[in-house]
Structure 1
């Protein structure tokens, strides 16, 4: 037998083993399984290479074990008897139960929130809180640029560290690579800020310390003095977002919270921090005010990622959608839903709920923007009102249900957020706060145009073919 025949036989065997691996994974959804088998059959060699790098959301073994151990330690600080679930109307409770189950965080009362006016106001509010900080500042951002707003946060954190405030920062290795390589990173380090880089890939290193190369820490978390936290869609950057200026302005939303959700956000941060730095981070839980006579409200934090329960974010979105009775308004920059999420939206509209979906008219990701429009037809046929925003890149991830419940955070409605990235969200029952977010959504709608069934019919056939073809491989990437 020739060497050429031996190599072909080995490659054929490898190909069959990879296909068997795809079919053996019981946690994989059937759409992803079918897409991978198709790709492997169409492109045998290339498909195998792609599967090795992108086939499964694998996280380094050491990282998985450390994260599991660290989070179990943190969960010992929780008081499961403190749940305020019974203070929420019964029709919304299942949504809160679902979100609470993801990390085991109870729904806690005693929270308050304020909505910042815009991206610059969010940065200014953080700088003000940093200036008043007495004990600690903890920050996690996916993207941190060295622009005007990025520099303001660098300077504010460095100044706080110099006066004795313990400052810890986690940034994503890819999203914040320009900051990590900049003199500003050194400035913070020299000032005494503790720094960590999340999801840094170690090429050629020990496989126990390596993770899938495109997994990202997409979280946006800020905690000050264990009692104030920020949550929303905003990265640490100017709305002009100079790295993608032609899509600007980036339109974001950020809420400033006080109350027990600060402790829960702290737990998500602490888990990341302990894994990346090796430093144990003690928690100082806030006792919830169960009376709620100060305008406070119940809420729960939940975070997901490749180590979370399978389909956690999709289940959270779907359960919240299922609670809507009169109105559901959603804004998201990246809309490529999985089947359960798409089905939840269609069912919601069909039972008479006024469903509105707001997405950017022009997306910074051509691939996602093209695929998104392939999902419009069944939604519009079911009565969903799809609006395309023309005032920049609508980056706000919001959901308001019946004007009373709101969900905000870092997660998009695409596969990366649903299955791959580390994300953080807050679900809250607070009609006054929900009304503020709902009013912000109205400002998006004022700069949007509706997509009609006629618009879809007028698409060239080649465009329909392209959009639908791309969705075949959406479960892969």
Structure 2
């Protein structure tokens, strides 16, 4: 059975028992690793069946914050949840492209009786999370937009760490109920969570503390502080590798870090080729940031965003799997 179909079967087999989502116990390929509290879903390999299956398997509650939501399967799963009596709440981005992209979905959910709200106009809600039954939170790098599923390098992490899940749910509740103020409300902290606004410090700390290696995948590479930190890391002898999709908007940044010694590989920007949308920062093959933040000033300091900070102690299989995917993409992308 093809891998995409295998994951679709796994997702639909995830059933609700005593209010908890039960995940498959069969061994998964290394690129889709499962640790005690974290499960990696690597896109485009896995398909989005596991994410839709998580939504469809809700027994008590679903809280979704999404930058772009146009997938009919996900929308219908939310409506079905509501119709089954599941407490279903959704926040959709209204800034930047959000209101135009999400308008039809907002209307469809609203017409069906789902509690859906626009995020504040003045703040980009680039976060991609789905919290189900206060037991599992899916934290993603990609949006629920099917036109990009087959070509976009992305990842989701199914997070069952209860401190993480509780903080993500609490932040959603704050965002859902707080009147707009021109800035995202303060998020609920947890040790493994990196929230925007004010995420830059965590990213800089990871880069500054790197001893042997820094590996980066991002859709954007233009935050001055991050570029400076990568420059310094490379000049002190840290192996620095970066995988991007070509874009003139960060050509200057690419040139800067390349001059410092970073090895930058870039896929051509085509409609059918692999597009690097995933956002990871992996240091020393051991410490991983993965989530919605791009390496741009807006993303790190202004938007509502969320990434997970994991390591070989909390998620060794996941870190190894992300590293393996990065290595494959780095080898496949042309060097600059």
TM-score, normalised with respect to structure 1: 0.56
1:153 positional shift: 0.5
Q: Cα deviations across residues 398-446 of structure 1 (Å, max 9, x unaligned)?
A: 1111221110111111122123222111101233211111112123223
| Aligned match for 2:140, one of 232, 241, 245 | 232
Pair 1:433-2:318 in alignment: yes
The change in CA–CA distance for 1:229 and 1:386 in structure 2 (over 3 A counts) is: same
1:332 positional shift: 0.5
Q: Cα deviations across residues 439-459 of structure 1 (Å, max 9, x unaligned)?
A: 1212322330111xxxxxxxx
| Aligned match for 1:378, one of 238, 242, 256 | 256
| Aligned match for 1:117, one of 14, 35, 42 | 42
| Aligned match for 1:252, one of 154, 165, 168 | 154
Matched-pair contact (CA < 8 Å) for 1:336–1:372: yes
Q: Cα deviations across residues 119-138 of structure 1 (Å, max 9, x unaligned)?
A: 48463112222222111001
Counterparts of 2:256 and 2:288, CA distance in 1 = 25
Larger radius of gyration between Structure 1 and Structure 2: 1
Pair 1:302-2:194 in alignment: yes
Q: Give the equivalent residue in structure 1 for 2:31.
A: none
Q: Any idea what SS the aligned residue of 1:222 has?
A: strand
Matched-pair contact (CA < 8 Å) for 1:197–1:276: no
1:180 positional shift: 4.6
Q: Give the equivalent residue in structure 1 for 2:7.
A: none
Q: Give the equivalent residue in structure 2 for 1:422.
A: 304
Counterparts of 1:350 and 1:180, CA distance in 2 = 44
Q: Any idea what SS the aligned residue of 1:316 has?
A: helix
Runs (4 or more) in structure 1 with deviation over 6 Å come to none
Q: Give the equivalent residue in structure 2 for 1:346.
A: 231
Query: 1:203-242 residue pairs with structure 2 within 5 A?
Result: 211=122, 215-240=123-148
Counterparts of 1:188 and 1:402, CA distance in 2 = 44
Counterparts of 2:45 and 2:143, CA distance in 1 = 11
Q: Of Structure 1 and Structure 2, which has the larger fraction of its residues in helix?
A: 1
Query: 1:346-365 residue pairs with structure 2 within 5 A?
Result: 346-361=231-246
Return 5+ residue gaps in structure 1 as ranges: 1-109, 201-210, 242-247, 278-284, 286-297, 306-311, 362-368, 452-477
Q: Give the equivalent residue in structure 2 for 1:270.
A: 173
Matched-pair contact (CA < 8 Å) for 1:251–1:394: yes
Pair 1:131-2:62 in alignment: no
Counterparts of 1:251 and 1:179, CA distance in 2 = 21
| Aligned match for 2:99, one of 177, 182, 186 | 177
The change in CA–CA distance for 1:349 and 1:118 in structure 2 (over 3 A counts) is: same
Q: Cα deviations across residues 120-172 of structure 1 (Å, max 9, x unaligned)?
A: 84631122222221110010111122xxxx10001111111111100000001
The change in CA–CA distance for 1:163 and 1:389 in structure 2 (over 3 A counts) is: same
Q: Give the equivalent residue in structure 1 for 2:213.
A: 327
Q: Of Structure 1 and Structure 2, which has the larger fraction of its residues in strand?
A: 2
The change in CA–CA distance for 1:159 and 1:386 in structure 2 (over 3 A counts) is: same
Matched-pair contact (CA < 8 Å) for 1:196–1:276: no
Counterparts of 1:376 and 1:238, CA distance in 2 = 30
Counterparts of 2:251 and 2:228, CA distance in 1 = 16
Query: 1:278-289 residue pairs with structure 2 within 5 A?
Result: none
| Aligned match for 2:331, one of 443, 446, 450 | 446
| Aligned match for 1:406, one of 283, 288, 292 | 288
The number of residues matched between the two structures is: 285
Q: Give the equivalent residue in structure 2 for 1:55.
A: none
